[in-house]
Chain A
């Protein structure tokens, strides 16, 4: 494996930023560190870069391609780091910002001026900012600054690329463009990359694998499909998108919500416990008649069909509270539910978590 972190503990005062974290990233992989603010994701990234050092240097390890770099300072680690607010050198031009890492090398390993120029030109081409080489950072837009920051990090041919909230400070449209560009860039140059984000959509779209952090621990790591479809905990479920919670009981491979029994995807064995069922809004179907499906009745409270998807808010008739449903525009137009109307609700992909048990 190319980058590995073992048993890292890091505290800031009394705040536990990293609570014994271990993580492996394969060579050429693009991994997202996803979590709410304060979950330790940026601290983990900075620890890999050598900008923070573990509190337990004996037990903790940071390995680059098997080489122990735990106590090596940032300047010798050869990790490319792009900062959340870019940290471009404001007194240097775009060109000189990108060239910086090459110019500060000791004379023996510093490339000649012509080599530096051609390397920077190549990177400018890669980030599509050749005409702006002589501009200063303050004359660039946010998206352009982020690309310069990336090029600057890449100029030193890093062993690993570390991006801290790379799109955090950009507006929605630029964000989407730039993350597609990042994915393409990664497919071109195949550099081992970790990036931090608090945006689940971004993590699921861009990354090969996603590590979800919570309170200084890695809650789950896996491919986007794995973590979206099989969340390991209610936290992950909740963090990865909207979810409805139905309290009920788990019994012999099925869950009972109100008076209706829904089959679970996996066998539970002999069990009879209180549990909470998690269902995503788009895994709920609405019909006017019960039919063969297992359903329970509910009343439509309100609906909103602006955009490609329609969102409905429904209320259980048995007093179990309200929940949201997402329908495609076609389904919605076909059904045309009215506020106050009674409908029947079917669930699929039901996952159940109880305090000591999860399926």
Chain B
């Protein structure tokens, strides 16, 4: 019996309530000031629907691309030795550490018509700034660490004997990867994918500078909420926020289930 249980749990609950739960409950209070028709109208107006499509579509695509390249980066970091590996490993977390506003103006300028990369793309008729492609670039930037950091520990702990067993049974290197390694990484890879996707859905700072925020075309949902707030229409902003919150909570549930699956998967494999 250690001391301090009531003190620490009491403080935890108090602080959680004060900073998180009470303010969050205000969202549901504010929603009730809208009638059901108004609420429904707000969340299904064409601009909102277009923003959902855009936000979900680009987030999904960015998470998918990250899953692919993130897996390769993880593989290289875990399995190969090369010069500067420690720096590369540390750099993976840059999107976490770099403030989103900095990422936002950097990507916008880099891919702008006069930017280092944008300039190269203009001759091909590709315009990244103020386009959905730009949003995709920003969301890819912020999502990379999620994949690498979820898959990395699993790949590190993978028992080499499994691969040796597969090889001794006649599997070639590709078969070993495809039939043995990848299935064992799948739960972690899905978790990482879901985390990157969830983060991308709510992203604001790194997107607004490159997106141009053209209604119906490059306006993501958080920007739409921001627009309502700028017009002091808090009820409509809150209605849109509720949609995003519900999606976030569902994703949170999915991620918890995935993590539970990852853990179970790995413990049964150890036994």
Contact = CB atoms under 8 A, between A and B. Distances in A.
Is any CB of A less than 8 Å from a CB of B in the complex? yes
Q: How large is the interface on B (under 10, 10 to 19, 20 to 34, 35 or more residues)?
A: under 10
A74 B3 CA distance: 10
Interface in A72-108: 73-74
The 7 A-B residue pairs with the shortest CB-CB distance, nearest first, are A51-B1, A53-B1, A52-B1, A74-B1, A73-B1, A73-B3, A50-B1
Contacts of B3: 73
Interface string B1-39: 101000000000000000000000000000000000000
Nearest to B3: A73
B6 to A, nearest CB: 14
Contacts, number: 7
Interface of A: 50-53, 73-74
A74 B1 CA distance: 8
Interface of B: 1, 3
Contacts of A53: 1
Contacts of B1: 50-53, 73-74
A50 B1 CA distance: 7
Nearest to A75: B3
Contacts of A73: 1, 3
A73 to B, nearest CB: 7
Nearest to A46: B1
7 contacts: A50-B1, A51-B1, A52-B1, A53-B1, A73-B1, A73-B3, A74-B1
Contacts of A50: 1
A18 to B, nearest CB: 15
A52 B2 CA distance: 10
A51 B2 CA distance: 8
Nearest to A50: B1
A40 B3 CA distance: 23
Contacts of A51: 1
Nearest to A52: B1
A159 to B, nearest CB: 19
A148 B66 CA distance: 52
Nearest to A53: B1
A275 to B, nearest CB: 44
A53 B1 CA distance: 8
A54 to B, nearest CB: 12
A53 B2 CA distance: 11
B3 to A, nearest CB: 7
B5 to A, nearest CB: 12
A73 B3 CA distance: 9
A202 B1 CA distance: 29
A134 B127 CA distance: 67
